Structures are given as structure tokens and as C-alpha cells.
Structure 1
Amino acid sequence: MRDHIKLPFYEEEFKRKRRGGGGGLKPRQDKQGFSEVQVFNLLKIKDEFDSDKERFKQFFDPNLLFKIQLSQKVDEKGFIEFLETNRIKVISPSPEGKGYWISLAEDENLNEVKKKLKEYGERERYKQFDAIESFEPIPSGEKIGEQLKEKPLQEGEEAYLDIEIWRMEDERLKKFLEGASDKIGFKKFTKDKGGKITDELVTKNLCLLRVKINKSIFEEIIRLREISRIDRPPKPYITYQILSTPLEKFEVREPPPENATAIVILDSGILSNHPLLEKAVGDEIAVPLLYSNKIQEDKPQDDVGHGTKVAGIALFGDIKRCIEDNSFQPEIWILSAKVMFKEENPITGEIEAVYNEDELLEHQLEKVVRYFAEGYSNCKVVNISFGDKYKKMFGNKRQFALATLIDELAKEIDIVFTISTGNIAPEAHDFPDNYPDYLIEEKGEVKIIDPASSAYAITVGSITQEFGPLNRSPNELLFSPAHTNYPSPFTCVGPGYKGMIKPELVEEGGNIIYSPSDPSKMEDIGGKLIVLNPKWVEDGKLFTVGYGTSFTAPKIAHHIARLFNHFPDHSTNLIKAILIASTKIPSDRPSPLDEIEFNDTDTKLMDLLKIYGYGKPNFEAAVTSDLNRVLLLADNKIKLDGVHLYYFYLPREFVETSGEKEISVVLVYNPPVRRNRIDYMGVNMEFHLFKNSEIQEIQRGYKTIQISEELEEIVPEELKIKQIGLHPGVNARKRGIHQKGLKVYSGKPDIDTDKPLVLSVVSQSKWLKEEEYLQEYAVVVMIRHEATIEIYNRIREQIQQRVRIK
């Protein structure tokens, strides 16, 4: 076993200088005509608002919210300041900069903006109007979610709905919800009309309500501009199936050490007396329901089976391997939170795990995570193997509420979330004939589901494992077009919010095997994973089988927890970076994915990345370096708009010995997030790797680059020729907080081993402007040679020698 090596840091830190100004807006030709039309639009918006204000005046004072459509990208800060001079406050800009901005008029008469629009038309003043396409009302239909569109409220129906309120400033939001002086507010208004508000959650990014209302109340409140979205509550996309398989009973060894890492399983509970779980359950709770006894505080047991299966994989990782090794040694603790309960589908008769209709899942999740994080110092990982299939991340969508909450909690509590991408029904996409094309095509139906779009979460997709179909008769053909390590036919794909590389990782989640002569036989046992059997007493067997992305995320949680055990002093950023550094995209892939190479353009590469992410991790490669594979680690903090430089030397043997060579860099950081900004993250970070240059030359180059938000790649112009082209490129990878760039050499690389490779790590402030803020991050450099040659000691000796000289 060889310890990873510390990546040498060039001690002199520096900041880039800020450059003023920015790109100009394209001027409009017919300013006068635009001005007249938009003044008319604003008058119409005001008339409709006045009508609603009169309608609701005895209950609350409505807020005048409307849309501003931008046809050009703008400097967010400058444009917000311009709107504020018009007494217009931005509530939520378009994620892409241009597009629809949700805005609130602090002057309900709109006098200031109308006046300036007229001056813009007559005197060509206020050129910021060049970016605006139109002022528009917010149509009620845009607020209705997918489930409610699919199944609208019927006459006489009283239903639970989720309402998201635009996140206005605290005082204005409280006044709308609670009322003021002689006004009763929205909450009491809902109750007085015969509805109920059964739960609520307000954070710095969110305001969510769970209500129970009828159609008449719905039709009244959908008019309210304060409502951002209204939909039926989410339904978990998991079902319960049992296919027993005869496997022998195994002895479980001693419990994990007291300080071993704990994983929270947020699911349907667990059966903690299962012989393979009982020694490793640290705590189990049920989040009691306020208005129902379907989940009771003293009954945290799994009545569905799903949570028990997920917990088994989180505890042991590969259960099949444990069986083959005749050894079940728990190394981590399981903390279980029951947030779902058993219900029978009235149509299919299938048992499903469901959420409580009265309460917000977001609220339950926040309570659970805080409970375990505050009560258990070893609680480092939370696994979520469910999601809302009606909320798919596609196109120009805003970040989902649950995903945003996860990002808030991950930042605040410093904890890792592992989340599955979600499942699709392959038969709805012409499986097997259209496999894998339906995963590659840009269609919303196959995209990752909420909360898998969380920036902080490690999102996990599914690939197939080795399988052997269980033939029911010797002459029956069973088949799957998905061979070993191919994308599972049911896996949802990325990219994530604003093009983030999602999923980051893949793990084995199963396959679908079918009989060409009898397509109904798609449930063959050979395509499934071995999992713990929730009905072990009834069936007399400890194991059963199942498939789905639900079983990929807990396997990654297992890896992460074991890494925390191995490296208890490593930061969360560094643990994630080490695991991502160990990944590899399988070389055996279905056509046309097999035609894509990692050195291809980002456009082609994205077809691979949105399915496999950075690949499947290798735990052993994450834990230890080897003679021909070296990991260099750094854990640090950087000032806003700062530059850090690292350096290392490649051994001559690495460059001159024939065989495939690989250099990769992983960067992971934890920025603050805001859902109501164009830039979701308050800080962006990126990295670049340079060859054939002294470190002082790289430093001089970076000192010439001024701070500008328009820069896509922060690299000195004169040094671009010295840059090693890592793939994917910087603009693709910097969209997320988990970044990996890779360079593969099949021949001899043009690298001068007498000069160091220099890694620049650059931070770029977005909306975060706190002068004293230090952004935490971790970087991992991996150097690997296909040949069995000694590079580990060469690299370590060179670093030690130069540190001594220094």
C-alpha cells in the first residue's frame, strides 16, 4: 500500500485586478415604437393588477409581480441596479441571463419605468432598455406543475397540493403570508375559504406550502402573482418487488468501530433485526406525521422493503462479492429515517412507498438531516434513492426546491449526499430496438429527476453488471442489448442544472432481460442485483434480487463512508475529489457511444458524460497509489478572484516508456448558492495545467489577467500554447462543483521533464463580494502509466528533494 502524496503548493498567493466596464448591448432600431408598445403593456399589467387588488383587498395586499423578457445577456449586478432606479426589484432572473426575469414593482403605478421608457423612445436615454424584449404578465397556466396538468382538480375534489411562493424579502413575504394590521394574509385567507395549510418551509432560497384545497379555492389563488408554482405532491418513483433466490445464511462478524462513518438512509425505514443489518444499525427514527398514524414515532420499521434493500447495499457495497467471499464485515454504521410508508396501488395492486400528503418532503428532509448531524459526529453521508418523476431537469428550468434545500444543507452542515438519477420505463422508448439511442437523444422524458440535479450531491446513474439469464427451458432465448458495463436501459441521464455534468458517477444497478418470443418476460432474474430480503423470515432466505438506480447511489455512499474511515482528517471536498479521481468510463460501450473518445470535442463528449458522468469509481485506486499510478493531493482555501499555483515534475520514464499514459485533475469546492440569481453559485472555480514552463512564467502571465465576468477561460493569452488540453474543456466542466479534466497520450507526449507541470486553480467571484471570504476546495492530480514502471518513488523523491532545496 502506497500513501498518496501531497501536491506541492507555490506559496506566493495573488489576486487578479478588477477590470471595469463590460460588453455593450446591441442597440434597438425602433426605440420609439418599442417604448410605446411597452408603456401600453405596463398599463395593461397595472389594470389587471388593480382588478385583483380590489378582489383581495380585505384579505391582503397583493404584490405586483410580472415578467421582463430579455433578448440579450446582461451584467446581472448592473442591470439589477438599473431596474432598481425604476423601482423594480428582481425576484428571479433567468438562469441563462437572457430570457424571462421575474420582477416586483415597488411602485404599483409603474410611473418611474413608464417615464424612463418614454425618454428612451424620445431622447435615446437609458440604453439598458436595449436588452429588454417586453414586459409581460405571468400567465396562470405557467404556474401549474406537470402532475396537475396531467390530472387537474375535479369538481368536488379536495386535494393536497404543493405551493411554491416567490422568495421575496422576509418582511414582504411575512406580510403576504401572515397579514398585517387589518389584513389577514394568505394563510388565513386559505383557511377561511375552507382550505388547510398543513405544512410550510421557509429558507433563504425557498418558501413552500403544503395545502389541502378544492377546485374553487385553486381557481381563486392561481391568479395570485406571488405563487410561483402549484402542483400535486411528489410521488416516489420506487416500487416493491420480491423474487426470491436460494442463498445460504452467513455469519456476520463484529460490529463496526464506534467512530466509524455513518450513512443516513432516507427511505421507507429499515428492518433493523435483519441478521445482516442488526450489528450495524446505529439509530433508526420515524418522522411522525402530524395528521396521520401511517408513520408513528415508535414504529420506524420498513413496511415496504425498499429501505432495507438500500441499507444493505450502503452497508456492504457488493453483496454478491460478500457471498462469494463468505464474509460480511460491516465497516460503517447505518442511521435510518422513515419518511415513506406502504400503500397499495388501487389499479395494479402493487405495493408502493409513498410520502405523506399533509407534509412537505422538504421539511421532513431538513428535520432528519439536522437530527442526525447534530446527534452523531460520525454522520457524514446521506443517501436518497427516490425522486419525483414529474420534475425532470431539461432545458432552461430553474433549480428544483428539494435540490436547492439539499445544496443549502450540504454547505451548512458539511455533509455528502448521494442521489440516484431516477428510472424511466424503457418500453415507452421502444426498448430494445431503440437502445441506447433514446438515452442520447435530447428528450425531457429521459432526464434526471428532482433532487438528482442538486449541485452538491454526487448523482449516480446505472450501468449493467455481469449477468446470466435464468432460462426457464433450454430452448428459450433470453436477451438484452445492454451488455456488461453498458448503460442500464432504465437509467435517467443528464446533463444537470445549467449544463452541469450529471451524473458524476455510475455504478451497477441491473439490466432488463427479455424473451423475444414473449416480451412479457422482461423480469428475468439474471438482470438483477442481489439485495437483502425484507421478507427473510417468511421466505426463509436472507437475499432476494432487484434492479434500479435506487441501488447505485447507496453503493457510492458505501465507498464514500469507507473513504472517510480511511482518511478521517480529510475534508469533504477532498474525499469526493479522491473518489472522482478513481473513476473510469468503461471501454466496452454500445454503438454509437463506443465511437466517442475522451480527447474528442466537448459537444461529442457530452453524449458520453451525460450517461456515464466521469465513470465508475474504483475504491482501491481511491484508497492507495501504486507504483505506476500516483495521486497528488491538496486541500486549501482561496480568496475571491485569487490564483493558486501548484507544481510537480514527471519522471523521464513516464514520458519515454511506450504505452498509454494518463494525466487527470479533479477539483471539488463548496460555494454558497442562491436560487434567485443568474449564477446559482456565488463563486466559480476552474483549473488549467501547463507544460514546458517555469512556475514564475505562469505567475507573471496570471498577474496580467484582469477580473472580468465575461472571461470564459481564465488563462493568460501568451500561455495558451503551453496549456495541456484536458477533456472535457474548462467551459464544460466549470458549470458544476465536481470537475474532472483528463488527458490521454497514446504516444510520446511533448513534455520537457526538466520543467514542472504547473496547475493553476482560479476563483472567480460572481454575486458573492465579501472581501474576507475564503473558498474551500480540494484538488487531486492523478498520473498513470499503462506499463508496469516505477513512477511513484520517482515523483515522491523529486518532490522531497525540491522541498528540501526550497
Structure 2
Amino acid sequence: MADNVRRQRHIHVRGLGVASVDFRSPGRGGSKPVPEIPDRAGHAESLRADLDAAVADLKAYRAAQGKAGLPYSRRGMPVTVEGRIGERLLVGKGRAGRGLGAFNVQRSVVGDGNANEPKDIATFFLTGSTLKSVRAALERYGAWERPDDDVLSNDEEDDEEEGAARRPPHFKLFETGAHIRPTTLRDLWTDRHNPFPRKTSKLLWEVWTRSSFEESFESAVSNLGVANRGRPSEFVDTRVRTLLATAAEIQDIVRASAAVLELRSASSFIADYFEMVPEDRAAAISDLAARMHGPAANAPVVTVLDTGVMRAHPLLSAALPSTRCHSADDRWEPEDHQGHGTKMAGIVQFGDIAALPRDKSPVPVATRLESVVVTAPEGAPPLPARDAIQRAVNIVETTKGPRVYCLAQTAEGEGEDGRPTSSSAVLDKLAFGDGRDTRLFVAAVGNAPHTPSEPYQLADYVLWNAEFGIQAPAQALNALSVGGASLKSLPDEGAELVAQPGNLAPSSRTAQGWPQNSRADKPDVIPTKPDIVMEGGNFVVDEDNLYCQPSPRHFVLTTSSAGSGRPLALVGETSAATAAAAGLAGRLLASYPGFRPETLRAMLVNSAEWTPAMRAHFDEAVGAGMGRLEARRLLLSRFGWGVPNEERLFHSARNALTLIAEDTLIPYAEGASAPRLKEMKYFKLPWPSDVLRSLQNTEVEMRVTLSFFVDPDPHAVSRDRIESYPSHRLRFDLRRYGESHETTQRRANELALGGDFSSPAVDSGWMLGFGARQRGTLHHDVWQGPAYQLVDRDGIVVAPVRGWWGDTATFDKTDVPVRFSLIVSIRTPEAKPGDLWTEVSAKVPTRVRVETPAIAIDT
């Protein structure tokens, strides 16, 4: 924005949306048919023989479970079904342990036989009653003949298919299954990132169990003398623990407890950064400390989850009393044991200290600080990453107040493919909270590996770090995930810089290698990450033109825990970027203290922009033959939506309006056998119609951001039900040019009344479009076009999509409201006439307007 443009506070409303009387989303498309078994009777006989052999040890399993105190009716054993090679194994929608619900499903597993051809496998648990029902179903299956009007579609929701009632139970499982055999530990190993352990010694295992089998599991663990590491994490109907055990001990626990659903590698937090010493600026510290104003006593808090913070630092002590310094483990001291946390705290409070004015002007400090040690000191046993996060939140939230959590740590040993892990699921769960008191976590995407002895390689930057996926827990749907960019335009004397100004920071990880869902009937729950990028420093190329080293001039100057002789330090990469983003979110919360965490996250993305260097990636990809949408997705996987524009983040203006709507809707109502979708919300927005009409063909820009948090069910991923990982999902769509409000609602809601359905088939002008933007829980899109067409885009639908809350009435999640934040911003050329903010402000109903003054900084 130009300096002469009048700044205004953003327009903030609550309760503007109108709920539909009833809601039914548009129906699904069909599925491809399943290839039939030619000799169904022979196939059934083969499966019966497999089943009899698979349960030969059932008596031994029951005896072990009896010693663990499990009632006889609940005793049983796991068996594994192998799919037909080249065909998808269809296991149904059942939840683990309910009837024949799958414990876990693994796709394209390479086994020991059949020439190592990949096949699907699924693990089930058979009690005496389920074994009896499966045998009876196999009898019916072998005798069944398909009627002419029965279509065997590749749809796993058997009960919803026409003709399904005439089929035997578990028909699709038998039709697509090839063999049944006893379950091995490898069948329970669902970790895609780490291979199954080969050592016979004690190892750390992440063990996922059924919550309803808690007593038998605890008894089995106790009887074997196996040690727990940390506390369990609880989810929908599962618990996650870390055990120190041998593979043989884990096998005994599986047998005796009947509780184990899956096994993964254990993880803990690591602090990944380079130690760099800046030029001596100790003399400037006292002057800077004297110029500091704030923070206010009621200022929001940024909680640094790290290695601790040295609170005695003269630049930090005013914001960080000893009462807000903690550790996740009582055996750890709350002081900074590695130096990383103090660096993060300095960036949260000041950004790059080198960029602060060197005159006598005041330095405002808008936020207070809080510190929790989540990374184990050297020599101390680490906590599981999932447990450390949970403990940290429990500790600090004994004191209430608005917070932003800064997590510049990554979980070593967890997957890097975008799928949920235990630590990312805990982050999602804590962010959602009870749905009313939500939390904002700002998480680092992690750095490509490099050390002084094994430096970063220039060849990795040529490939834009495609081989290094974003690290956990930054793939969390509800988190604000931050990558690094090299934004300083300083030359490095006598050396070649790796990154050009505005490009990817050399070691910042990306999501380029994350898989895309290939099935048309599976929605994309894997989110678009990172969300934004911030300053991450730069590297210089060594003389050999093979390796690279951090450039001190391009890293960020911040506070140090080294003592009075070295009060400042340099830091960079995604740690620095994350701390900067957390500090920015904290200052935004101080400026708009009423904003929800969902809104803060949305605002940072809504204000973000790609630099020219980032946009050059799009041009290069399109020039190489890539489609424009695919090229934009490529940019998102490297840079997210770019770098937040602080002027747009904090203020509206005559030619740049931001309207923030915070609302709720009820996604589910009681249904006949399971909850049904209940309502959508429709927003008729106060709109700058007069200004837009006056601009006629002038090209303008509109950005729309929808942000919501979800309640996670992480075990859904291992059941091959990733679409049921979130409790619910939401999506937005806009009124189109030439379309009535009634038609817009009809398009989103088959039960909406009124209007003619004459909507154009394609909604042009969007950067992504309806289908491409519906990923994760943070949906953002940019529309560009003539101003006269934007006049009609004053209606927005926010509609629900099913998740695990709708799986069964058992969860009792009907009539539960969920929150969301919807942000619309419009930008017109500065030189053009008209005042967007004034026109819209005058149209906002008083009943929905929210006026909250910024928190004054103490002087």
C-alpha cells in the first residue's frame, strides 16, 4: 500500500451467515465394477481352508488373554486377509473391533511369495462369535449366484448399493480377497517411513491399541515387565504408547492383550540448527533494552516449545518471568540447555534484530513470552514427541489467556509423506480442543539434513529439495506450517549465493514428494503445505561447486543464551522462519484481541504473496509443458502461499478491503442408522457494488480463505479411511457471475428451494478452482477478473462434508456446532477512484459487527 493510503481496521463480523433449513450435499459418482470370481464355490472353499489353518492357535491366544483378565467372549486372535494381486481389497467401512472391522489396511505390500508381486493386506480380529459368523457367511458366499440386475461396483459402502441386501455378509471382502493367514508382527507394522526393526535387542515401539482393551493391555505389559516411555495419547477409540521392548515381547503383548491395532517407530523432538557467531554487538544491547516499550500486562502470550529460554537475557526478561518457564519433564531444568529456544524467543519478540532502527526510536514489544522445554537435555531419555506436546499444553494452560504456540522442533523418526502421525494427530487434537477453545500451533516444516562434516549439497537445491519431505508434526491439518525463503537481497562478497532473493531457502523442506490420491472416490485429506514462508537465510556455494555453507550475512540476528559476553547469535532455516511467523501471529492477536486461532491462521495466508522469484517457478514449469493448475500446485508444495504482507495483514485501505466473518454451523443431525449432514451456511456479503460497477473492465483481485479445525481420528489412516481422519470437513463456493443467490444455494444444497438451475458449467478466473482448493482445513483461492463481474460475487456457501463424527451414532456428535472463519479481501488498483472500505463499512449490520480495540503497549 502506498504511504498516502488511509489505513483502516479490518471489518470483523460474527453471525452473518444464515443456516439452511435442511441440507443434502450433491450425490457421488459411480464406481468401477469389481472383476468377478469365476468359480465362487471353489474360492469359498479355499478361503474356508485358509481360515481353519489361520485360527489353529486360537486356543493358545485365548489362554494368554485369560491370564491378562480378558472376559472369554472378548478373546480371540488377529488374522490377515491378502488381496488378489492387481485388485483392490475391499474391507468395508466398519471400525476396528466392531463386527469384522479392519484393524489396519495396507496397500501394495510386497510379500515373500508370488514373485514378490504387490498386494493389499488387511488385519481383522476374530472372536468366537465373529469366527462363527464369518464361516456362515463363507457358506452363503460359495452358494451365491449374482442376479442379472446386481452390479458389483467397486464401492465399499455395501449397505448403500442397490442389490446389496441380497448378497452374503462380507461379500466384497471375499470377492477381492485371495488368502487368509495368521497375522505376523510385520502385518501390524504400518510405518511407511521406517522399515520393520531387525534388531533382537530392546527398541522403542509406538504401539496403537484399542481403548476398550485397556485393562488387558496394561496387565500384559505389567506381566512382561515392559517399560513405558512417556504417557499414552488418547484419540477417538484408540490409545498410543511408547514401549521399550524386544520384538518377542511385543509379540507376547499382541497375543495376551488382544488390544494392539498397529505398530510404528517411536519419535522424539530434535532441535536442528547451525551454531553461528555474529559480529560483536554486546554494547548495543543496553541501548536496545532501554528503548523497549511493553509488553502490556494483558498482552497475548507466545509459548515457545523448544530447548528452554534464558529468561535473564536483558532483551527477554521483561516479557518472561520465571513463573512462565517450564519443562515437559520434571527431571529437566527449565533453562535453555542447548541455545535454540533463546534464539527463537528473540525472533518472536523482535524479528531480525539487525533490521531494527539504530536511532533512538522506541522498540514496541507487543507480546509476552512463555517457555516449555520439550527437547530432552543431553544424556536424558527423551519424551515421545506426542507426549511432550500434550504435557506442555497441560502445564501452561493452568494459566488462562490468549496464546500462540511456536514449535520450531521436528519429530525425528516419523513419516514425511503428508499422512498423519502420532505427533501431528496430537497437534490436531490440541488445536481443536473441545471445539470452542481452540489453539494455534505454528510449526516448522524442517530442514534438509546437513552438518559441518556432511554439508548441504548444491544438487539438492537444483531439485528444490524434492527428496526431503516436510517433517512431522508440520503436516497437521490444524497447524500453520512454515517453510523458509531467502528474502535478504544482500550480496555476499567473494562468494556465490545458493538462492536468489525471494527464492526457497536452501535447506527448507517441501511437499513435492507427497503422494496424491489416485482414486476418484477418495477425497484429498492430505493438506497443502507449507502454508506460508518466512525468512530462512541463505547459503553460499563452496569453491568445489558441490557443497554449500550458511551465509552469516543472510541469517537472522537474535538473542543468545551464551552469556553477557555473547548476548546475540545468528540463526536461520525453518526454525527462524517459524519463530518469525509465531511472533507475527502474536502481534496480530494483540492488534485484534478478539480473533479466534482459526482466524489468525487464515489472515496470515490471506495476506501472503509469492515473490517474483517464486512466480518464476510457475513460468518455468509451464514453459516445460506442465499444465497451469499443476504448476500452481507445484508452487504451493514449495512456498505455500508465499510471504505474508504485513501491511495487508494488519490494515485495510481505500483500495484494499478485508472482511472477516467468524461463524459456526452444525454439520450433523440424527439419522436413521447414522448421523446425516444437517446444514450449510450462506453469506450475503455487504459488498462494494457501486465502486466495482464504476471500475467496469478494470482487473481486480479477490481472495477467499476458509479456515476451520477438526477433531482427528488418526487410526482411520491405517484402516485406509483417510477421509474419516477429520471429524468433519467444510468447503466454500461463491455465487457466480450472472447467477442468483437462490441458484448458488441450490447448487450446493439439493434441498434448497427456489430459483432456476442455470449456473455456468465452469467458474473461470480462479487460481485453483473449486476441486483443487478443497484440501486440508485451510482453503484459499484467488480470483482475478473485470470489476463488473465481481459485483455478482457477493454470496458464499460454506457446506459440510462427512468425517468420522458421521460414522456411527455411538459417538453422539449430532447437533454439535463447529467453528470456522471466512475471510474475503478485495484489491483494486491504487490509482483508480472509489473507496471499498467506506462503502462496505456502511452496509455492515450493527448486530453482527465486532469492534475490538488493539491492546495498548505499555510505555
Shared fold per TM-score greater than 0.5: yes
Q: Does 1:103 align with 2:124?
A: yes
Structure 2 residue aligned with 1:2: 8
Paired position in structure 2 for 1:773: 816
1:210 corresponds, among 214, 235, 242, to 242
Offset, 1:410: 1.2
The question of whether the paired residues in 1 share the 8 Å contact of 2:481 and 2:529 is answered with yes
Aligned partner of 1:506 in structure 2 is 533
1:350-407 CA deviation, whole Å, 9 max, x = no partner?
xxxx8734x43433321220221231323x2111111124323327x4x211111111
The aligned residue for residue 392 of structure 2 is 368
Deviation of residue 266 (structure 1)?
1.0
Listed as ranges, the matches of 1:252-331 within 5 Å are 252=289, 253-282=292-321, 283-287=323-327, 289=329, 293=331, 295=332, 299-322=333-356, 324=358, 328-331=363-366
Report if the CA contact (8 A) 1:46-1:108 is conserved: no
For the aligned residue pairs, the C-alpha RMSD in angstroms reads: 3.8
The partner residue of 2:740 within 687, 694, 709 is 694
Q: Secondary structure at the match of 1:719?
A: coil
Partner SS state of residue 783, structure 2 = strand
| Contact 2:702/2:784, CA 8 A, preserved across alignment | yes
Asked whether the 8 Å contact 1:309–1:532 carries over to 2, the reply is yes
Q: Any idea what SS the aligned residue of 1:433 has?
A: helix
C-alpha displacement of 1:466: 1.3
Counterpart contact for 2:65–2:255, Cα < 8 Å: no
Are the aligned partners of 1:536 and 1:543 in contact in 2 as well (CA < 8 Å)? Answer: no
Match of 1:587 in 2: 612
Is residue 2:632 matched to residue 1:578?
Answer: no
**Equivalent position of 2:445 in the other structure:** 421
CA deviations over 1:297-318 (Å, ceiling 9, x no partner): xx31112100100111112223
Q: Select the residue among 643, 648, 666 that pairs with 2:705.
A: 666
Question: Does structure 1 residue 40 correspond to structure 2 residue 59?
Answer: no
- Choose which of 634, 638, 648 in structure 2 pairs with 1:611: 638
Is it true that 1:405 corresponds to 2:411 in the alignment? no
C-alpha contact (below 8 Å) 1:277/1:312 kept by paired residues: yes
Task: Indicate which of 777, 781, 787 corresponds to 1:737.
Answer: 777
Write the deviation string for residues 28-52 of structure 1: whole angstroms up to 9, x where unpaired: 4213344334333333332255555
Cα distance 1:752–1:228, how it changes in 2: closer, same or farther (>3 A)? closer
User: Which of 792, 797, 800 lines up with 2:839 in the alignment?
Assistant: 797
Distance 1:716 1:775 in 2: 31
**Cα contact 1:165–1:208 (8 A) shared by 2:** yes
Q: Aligned AA for 1:558?
A: G
1:124-523 equivalences in 2 (<5 Å): 124=145, 125-126=167-168, 129-130=171-172, 133-134=176-177, 135=180, 137-141=182-186, 143=188, 149=195, 152-153=198-199, 158=202, 161-166=204-209, 168=210, 170-171=211-212, 173-178=213-218, 185-191=219-225, 195-205=226-236, 206-213=238-245, 217=249, 226=260, 228-234=262-268, 236-239=270-273, 241-247=275-281, 248-249=284-285, 250-252=287-289, 253-282=292-321, 283-287=323-327, 289=329, 293=331, 295=332, 299-322=333-356, 324=358, 328-343=363-378, 356-357=381-382, 359-378=383-402, 380-394=403-417, 397=419, 399-412=420-433, 413-425=437-449, 431-440=457-466, 443=467, 446-466=468-488, 468=490, 471=493, 477-494=494-511, 498-517=525-544, 522-523=549-550
Cα drift, residue 121 of structure 1: 2.6
Whichever residue aligns with residue 694 of structure 1, its letter is S
Distance 1:490 1:366 in 2: 29
Of 763, 770, 773, the residue aligned with 1:723 is 763
1:340/1:653 CA distance change after superposition, 3 Å: closer
Residues 655 and 310 from structure 1, CA distance in 2 versus in 1: closer, same or farther, beyond 3 angstroms? farther
Q: In the comparison of the two structures, how many residue pairs are matched? A: 743
Match of 1:544 in 2: 569
Q: Does 1:553 align with 2:598?
A: no
Compute the displacement of 1:457 (Å). 0.8
Distance 1:55 1:74 in 2: 31
Q: CA deviation at 1:758?
A: 2.1
Q: Deviations over 1:83-131 (max 9, x none)?
A: 95xx3234456799x9655533233772211221231232143375236
| Aligned residues of 1:196 and 1:213 also touching (Cα < 8 A) | yes
SS of 2:680's partner is strand
Structure 2: distance between partners of 1:761 and 1:773:
16
Conservation of the 8 A alpha-carbon contact between 1:507 and 1:556: yes
State yes or no: 1:16 paired with 2:23: yes
How far apart are 1:212 and its partner, in Å? Answer: 3.5
**2:267, 2:413 within 8 Å by CA — same for their partners in 1?**
no
Supply the distance in 1 between the matched residues of 2:728 and 2:380 (Cα, whole angstroms). Answer: 35
Amino acid at match of 2:276: I
Q: Which amino acid aligns with 2:775?
A: R
Secondary structure, aligned partner of 1:80 = coil
Instruction: Provide closer, same or farther for how the CA distance between residues 235 and 649 of structure 1 changes in structure 2, counting only shifts above 3 A.
Output: closer
* Other-structure match for 2:101: 89
Query: Residue 332 of structure 1: CA displacement?
Result: 0.4
Instruction: Report if the CA contact (8 A) 1:504-1:613 is conserved.
Output: yes
Give SS of 2:334's match.
coil
Cα distance in 1 for partners of 2:42, 2:30 equals: 25
- Amino acid of the structure 2 residue aligned with 1:360: P
For residue 624 of structure 1, the aligned residue among 647, 651, 655 is: 651
Alpha-carbon distance change, 273 to 773 in structure 1, aligned in 2, over 3 angstroms: same
The residue number in structure 2 matching 1:347 is none
Residue 758 in structure 1 maps to residue 795 in structure 2? yes
Task: Give the whole-Å Cα distance in 1 for the aligned partners of 2:96 and 2:195.
Answer: 37
Amino acid at match of 2:778: H
User: Which residue pairs with 2:588 in the alignment?
Assistant: 563
SS in 1 for 2:268: coil
Whether the aligned pair in 2 keeps the contact of 1:597 and 1:605 (CA below 8 Å) is no
Aligned 8 A contact 2:658 2:823 in 1 = yes
User: Cα–Cα, structure 1 residues 67 and 75, in superposed 2: closer, same or farther, change >3 Å?
Assistant: closer
Show the 5 A alignment for 1:597-608: 601-608=628-635
Q: Distance in 1 between matches of 2:839 and 2:546?
A: 61
Q: Is the 8 A contact 2:743 2:756 kept in 1?
A: no
Q: Distance in 2 between matches of 1:335 and 1:64?
A: 48
Tell me which residue corresponds to 2:517.
none
Question: d(CA) in 1 for partners of 2:751 and 2:622?
Answer: 33
Once residues 146 and 127 of structure 1 are traced to their aligned partners in structure 2, the CA distance between those partners, rounded to angstroms, is: 32
User: Separation in 2 of the partners of 1:729 and 1:516?
Assistant: 46
Q: TM-score w.r.t. structure 1 length?
A: 0.82
CA separation of 1:89 and 1:72: change in aligned 2, threshold 3 A: same
Q: Give, in whole Å, the separation in 2 of the partners of 1:525 and 1:685.
A: 44
